[in-house]
Amino acid sequence: MALPLPWRIMVPIVAVAVAIGISSFDAAFPGHYLRQLIIGASHPWPSSPAFHVFSQDPVVVYIENLITPAEAAHLVKQAEGRFATSPMWDNEGKPHVDKAYRRSTTARLGTAAEDDVVRAIEARARALPFYKPVGSFMPMVVQNYEVAGLYRDHYDWFDDRHAVGGNIASTFFVYILANCTGGGTNFARLTPPDSDSRWCEWIDCDRPLDEGVTFKPILGNAVYWENLEADGRTLSDRGHQRTLHAGMTVTSGNKLGLNLWTWKPAHD
């Protein structure tokens, strides 16, 4: 079939856009498509990745296939034997343990220099068109939630960035093991979609409407969000109140989540 000229030009562009998930990518980040294509070539995506922008304010994106099952298995193996009880952090950055509030164990992984998979994932994350590179990644950690494991409502940002020397600007939470029921990632202050929305593939549409949004833990997928309020094209130093989130109780099985945090140093 002979298409008129403009269409013949459009077809390959549309095909590529669909392949990398732009079909469901809101037009809020114009100009990034090309960058995505160029960078994507040097850091190939594992398998048909797609990102779905759930919210613009705060920016919350669900990413399918951010990592491969093989990469996930590698990370699970690396974390083995390194787990210790997860602490909670106060505003001075001091840890304490409260198992009624946070029940999980945490393992710190090797750095990008030490582990090829860590390096590849960091590069891939940095290449995402919506990602704002306001600082460097903190060392990756893995959170292990077994039955009854949970992390109630919390923020990833600190109230006083000066006390801790900076702030956690954005978070990737990647599901590297998801043999579980429950264990979704809940944002209590975001508005859930209807029961028949296409989002129900990634959001648990059986949760009560007044509980906010609960993303499903699916192996290889990730939730990305910006913890700080936007400031034009960059991020401010103000924590975003609607990023309040929780790891819902794991009711059966086991969930392991990889945290990739962007650290924005305090300059003033």
Partner 1 sequence: MSGHWLRSIFVVLLAHIHHTGAILYSGVDEFEAHTKNDGLVVVSFATNVAEWGVPIVTIDCELNAAFCASFDVASYPTIRTFRQSDYARYRGTFKSPAITTHVLQAILPTVTTVEKHNLPVISSLTIPLLLAVLPEDDIASAEELNLVAELLKHKYIVGMTHDTSLHPDLKPVNTELAAAPPPPPYLVVLNVMDEVIPIYSDKFESGRLYAFAKQYQSPQIGRLEFSSLPHYMKSGIPLAVIFAEHETERRSLAASLQVVAAKYRSKVNFATADARKLVFLAEPMGLQPGRFPAFSVQTSEEAFPFDQDEEITGKAIDAFISDVLAAHSLRDREL
- 210 vs 268, which CB is nearer to partner 1? 210
- 131 vs 145, which CB is nearer to partner 1? 145
- 167 vs 214, which CB is nearer to partner 1? 214
Burial zone of 9 (CB within 10 Å; 0-12 exposed, 13-18 middle, 19+ buried): exposed
Q: CA 184, CA 118: separation in Å to the nearest integer? A: 24
| Minimum gap (Å) between residue 63 Cβ and partner 1 | 18
| Minimum gap (Å) between residue 142 Cβ and partner 1 | 18
Give contact residues for partner 1 (rule: CB under 8 A).
99-100, 103, 146-149, 181-184, 192, 195, 200, 204-210, 214, 216, 248-249, 251-252
What does DSSP say about strands 136-137 and 250-265: parallel, antiparallel, or unpaired?
Answer: antiparallel
- 56 vs 252, which CB is nearer to partner 1? 252
Closest CA to 265 of 138, 155, 139, 141: 138
- 98 vs 114, which CB is nearer to partner 1? 98
- 49 vs 184, which CB is nearer to partner 1? 184
| Minimum gap (Å) between residue 37 Cβ and partner 1 | 34
H/E element, 123: helix 116-127
Q: Quick check: 107 and 144 in contact, CB under 8 A?
A: yes
Q: Quick check: 39 and 128 in contact, CB under 8 A?
A: no
Residues ≥6 apart with Cβ < 8 Å to 76: 142, 176, 177, 256
| Minimum gap (Å) between residue 33 Cβ and partner 1 | 32
| Minimum gap (Å) between residue 85 Cβ and partner 1 | 10
The residue whose two tokens read 């998979």 is: 117
Number of neighbours of residue 178 by Cβ within 10 angstroms = 19
Residues ≥6 apart with Cβ < 8 Å to 161: 167, 237, 266
| Minimum gap (Å) between residue 203 Cβ and partner 1 | 9
